[in-house]
Amino acid sequence: MFCNSEIELKYKGIRTYFCDKSLVNLVCTVRKYATPAGARVGMESSQVIALYGHPEILSKDNQTELIYRSLTSETALVFHVENGKVNSIELWCDFT
């Protein structure tokens, strides 16, 4: 990805990345915020699957990613799971 300008903004528990004024990535690491379906940091991975259905799963050691990809763009919602609980939620956006 080529950007003329890259910006990273950090808030309490939220990190955002912009490329040429378009949101590319957002990461949430606190329980305070939830997805529209109600998923949040601290939930059991089984609760996320109950809300969103069966994801693409990537695992390494005790880290797991539950990946929900858009069918119409290069956008994905990723739940990072450690020891069965969500420790961060990441949104990747297709800004093209």
Q: Which among 76, 74, 96, 72 is positioned nearest to 19, based on CA atoms?
A: 96
Three-class DSSP category at 20: coil
d(CA 92, CA 27): 9
- Class of the 6-92 domain? alpha beta
Each domain of the chain, given as residue ranges in start order, spans 6-92
Question: Is the predicted pLDDT of residue 1 greater than 70, yes or no?
Answer: no
Q: What is the average pLDDT across 31-41?
A: 96
Q: What is the average pLDDT across 65-94?
A: 94
Question: Is the predicted pLDDT of residue 2 greater than 60, yes or no?
Answer: yes
Q: What is the average pLDDT across 63-80?
A: 93
| Dihedral of the alpha carbons of 79, 14, 70, 63, in degrees to the nearest 10 | -20
Question: Is the predicted pLDDT of residue 68 greater than 90, yes or no?
Answer: yes
Q: Is the dihedral of CA 41, 49, 83, 79 positive or negative?
A: negative
Tokens 């990537």: give the residue.
58
- pLDDT class of 61 with cuts at 50, 70, 90: confident
More confident position, 61 or 2: 61
From the centroid of its chain, how far is CA 47? Answer: 16
For the chain, the average pLDDT equals: 92
Q: What is the average pLDDT across 75-85?
A: 95
